[in-house]
Structure 1
Amino acid sequence: MSIDIERLRKVRGLMEAGATKGERDAARSRATAMAKAAGLTLKEALSKLDATEKPRPKGLFQGFDDWMEAREPGHKAREAVKRAERERARRSRCEELLREYGSEEAVFAETDQERRLREALQPLATFRKYDGEVDSEGNWRETDKTYIDGFADWRSGPPKGAVLAAIHAAYPLPETVSGAWAEHQQFEAADSARFAFFPEYDPPIWVRARMAALSFILDTYSEPTVEGVRARLKWMNWHVNREIARDVLDDKRVLTALRIDFEVLMASGVHNGQAPSAPVRRTTAAKRADVLSILDACPELSDREIARRVGVSPQTVNNHRRARNGAAMAANGGLGL
């Protein structure tokens, strides 16, 4: 097994420049484990890193603390207190995890799910190296990062083709929103534990591919039940708490799916803990609006899938799709752009 040079470089940075002794010790422990997994000693692994090391430009925020200290005297001291508090919380979390798992090695041990994903994806997917990236000086440089052909994280959206087939072959993807949320929570729990010991931890790409597939289910699948609506709301709340902006299209998809499921759920009479009442017949206009909303948010879905979600025939969806495409062509001079 080869060692991830880019990740080792990050770990070494924490070993040498971690804000606290705890961070530096945790990084050294993680680097040792990475080297051992690759059949190397820590010294041998670091020598490989030295052999590939390239001059690095100055960091974008280098000197920021000095600048802030000049503007706001005491800034460095306040930041030091914050770092110490974070470190105390991290060490406390690590102690809890050691009592739960027994050892740090057990925290990072490959789970059965991770093993299945690795075994399914490695022989079926082509791994490619990123061409490179622009550094903080605006210069193009090579990178040691790799991606799976068919899934390049945020660069390509959800996995498709052979990668998606391999993910499903590892073990079947959930068919419901609530099932996807339950599996998502399992991965998040494992990541959270590993982050505590190693803040620079990054899940293997086959795990990230699986989570991207789960994200698509959570954003788009229909489950007009109390459990489904609750799971999707928890998913949306998880994104809000991350404080990382998503693509607007992703937000449109999840809101469209949530609105339609909520309307179907309310029409069924299953709310406020009451037993289902006689179904309320939805109007043709309401169904048409739902079809158009899905076509706008998720145009890649098949007519059959949209029909299943809204409760109309596939032909009805196809009629709306053709009318929508025709209107778009007319608006663009007949070019369909």
Structure 2
Amino acid sequence: MAIDLEKLRKIWNLSEHGQGGEKDAARARAQALVSAHGYTLNDIPSLLNLRADKEADSFDSKRGFYSDFWRQAADAEQHEKEAERQKKEDEKRRAQEARKKQRDAETAWRRAHKPEVDAIIKRCGGYEAVFRNTPEEQKIVDAVAPFEMRGIKWPTDATEAIKAALPLPQTIDDAIAEYRKWVAICREREMVGRYRERKRISWNVQEAAVNERRWIVTDLAACNLPARDIGELMRRVQFQIEQEVSDPKHQEAILRDLARIDAQVESERRQRASTSAPVTRRTRNQKPKTATQRRREVEAILATEEGRTMSLRQIAGRVGVSPATVMKVRRDMSEGSE
């Protein structure tokens, strides 16, 4: 069992600072305590100093541990602050680069469009004149003066006034032409405004009533007016593609146009066939073919290899019946063969 150094310290302290016989008694007790472990009175000071050294070492060890802990914590905090500072610097640098890139792009745009902007301003008679209503725009604006918009929509009476302010296009080509005229005016104003402001403008360059007129002629071109021929229909489809809007009514308009043009072509074909067909004199005993006879002729043609590759109109023209009749006979033959 180790020496109780704390007890020894108290006894030894009493042997040195006690009164009278207390010193002698304390020295005797200290002698008895250390002699059991092979020490003498002369060893007691060294024993007590050893404990003090151990305590000091323990304290220094603890102090070193906490010192390392706080140093590491401080280093971590410093590293975090440095990372945050670096992050802010990177963000600031990227923002500066983006602004510079935008400024450079705007400078290049201004350089490329300056001749056109100067020409527009000169043609209109000054910067402010570019944004002044044209005579046609003013007519539309004056037409809706008695009305007020309801939110973002015009009342029906105002819409009719806008339509009546200028003659409405009667063909798809005319509607497309008017639409592009309004777009061209907007484009020029936006270009001049951007050049002056050194950025894209956010304000409207046309009156609300004129915008409504543009939507009206857009619908006329895209779906409301009939296509007169295949060429005009193709221009309508191209216009729809340019609008980049998918609307079922656009497809419905195309189907209507195709049906109308198809009927027109068929009518013209029949007319040409009737005027160019040779006139034959019917003999006294010759009689017109009955419906049964014409049906049998259709069946005979459909039963041949050639007939199976012919269109309904070709067979109908050869026999003198309608394509619908040929279709019915073909369907009846198909059902009969099943």
Greater per-residue helix proportion: 2
With normalisation by structure 1, the TM-score equals 0.44
Structure number with greater CO (CA < 8 Å, separation at least 6) is 1
